[in-house]
Amino acid sequence: MTIFTCNDGYEDMMTCIYDAWSARLGHNQIRLKAEPIGNLELFCEYRHIEKDPEKTAKVIRSIQKKISWEAYQMVYRCAMSSHPNKLDAIYRFLILGFAYGSSVTHMLKETAVITVFEINRRVANEAHLSIEFMRFSNTKENILVSHIEPKSNVLTLVAPYFSDRMPSENWMIVDDARSMAIVHPSDENYYLTPLTEKETLYLNTQTDTEDSYAGLWKEFFKTIGIEARKNYKCQRTMLPLWHRKNMTEFR
């Protein structure tokens, strides 16, 4: 068994798929895994793959052309997940995809398809919840800053929505767990950028204690619940506790 490993970036993963495929060792003789690897297995050869923009572009083009745009989106979202076997799942899905074409996304009987379908659904749901529960705070310079710590890497999935929602505002979304940020200057395109330690420290000092609208919102949130119907269990089902860490009304 040969195991192809790579860093947990999108380009790395696409290159890894390319190299694993072109190694021609037989699909059943190989596995793919995003790093960190953890415990090593006996009788396995590990090959680390470095990212390569050309190979990445080839894989992306093939998926979009030979399978479908829908399948590509599923693969992309799947790659953003924190699922330990996501890369291998994508690989198995692509084997079927290149054989059956665009209909593969509906072949839910196949284990390879249902696995990717399921991971994709989870990531899409998490991205949607992030859109719902994200909270911005207004800094003194009138910039909106939001901190999130999602399980999946949802930054690129939520950015288009907010860029449509607030095109003429200065805002940024900071992923504290991955030290990445989406920055959107007013009336311009947004971009994804890694954060340095200094920048992270600076951002953490910017708290919204003086924002009067945050106080108004907290009061509104308390007032709007009906006492006679109170149901914290239902509230926790709809809005799980781990989402609440960065939400204004729960702080």
Partner 1 sequence: MNSGSGLSLQDKLNILADAAKYDVACTSSGVDRKGKKGSLGNASAAGICHSFASDGRCISLLKILQSNECVYDCKYCLNRSSNDRLRATFTPEEVCRLTIEFYRRNYIEGLFLSSGVCKNPTHTMELMYLSIQMLRTEYHFNGYIHVKAIPGASNELIEKTGYLADRMSVNLELPTTEGLKELAPNKTHSSILKPIEQIQSGIMDYRLAVGKKSKMERHSGNRYLTDTIFDHTPYERIEERSLLEVQHLHLPSSGTVSPFVPAGQSTQMIIGATAENDFQLLKTTQTLYQRYDLKRVFFSAYVPLNEDAKLPSLDTAPPLLREHRLYQADWLLRYYGFHAEDLLSPEKPDFNVFLDPKCDWALRHLELFPVEVNKADYAALLKVPGIGMKSAMRILQARKRSILDFEHIKKMGVVLKRAKYFITCQGKMMYHIRMEEDFLTRQLIGEDSKTNWAIDNPQTYKQLSLFDDMSLTIPPTVEDTRKSIGGQL
Interface contacts to partner 1, rule CB under 8 A: 100, 103, 106-110, 114, 118, 131-138, 144, 146, 164-169, 187, 213-217, 219-226, 228-235, 237-239, 247-249
Residue 68 beta carbon to partner 1: minimum distance, rounded to whole angstroms: 14
Residue 84 beta carbon to partner 1: minimum distance, rounded to whole angstroms: 19
Q: Are 3 and 69 in contact (CB under 8 A)?
A: no
Distance CA 81, CA 59 (A): 19
114-117, long-range: CB within 8 Å, 24+ apart, which pairs? 115/85, 115/89, 116/74, 116/75, 116/78, 116/89, 116/90, 116/92, 117/74
Comparison of 1 and 238: residue with beta carbon closer to partner 1: 238
Q: Are strands 180-184 and 171-175 parallel, antiparallel or unpaired?
A: antiparallel
Residue 99 beta carbon to partner 1: minimum distance, rounded to whole angstroms: 12
Residue 94 beta carbon to partner 1: minimum distance, rounded to whole angstroms: 17
184 to 62, 65, 157, 165, 235: CA distances (angstroms): 31, 31, 14, 12, 32
Comparison of 10 and 217: residue with beta carbon closer to partner 1: 217
Amino acid found at 189:
N
Residue 219 beta carbon to partner 1: minimum distance, rounded to whole angstroms: 6
Please state whether the peptide bond connecting residue 84 to the residue before it is cis, i.e. omega within 30 degrees of 0. no
Comparison of 198 and 230: residue with beta carbon closer to partner 1: 230
Q: Are 16 and 4 in contact (CB under 8 A)?
A: yes
Comparison of 44 and 234: residue with beta carbon closer to partner 1: 234
Q: Report phi then psi at 5, rounded to 5.
A: -125, 155
Residue 180 beta carbon to partner 1: minimum distance, rounded to whole angstroms: 19
Comparison of 72 and 136: residue with beta carbon closer to partner 1: 136
Comparison of 134 and 195: residue with beta carbon closer to partner 1: 134
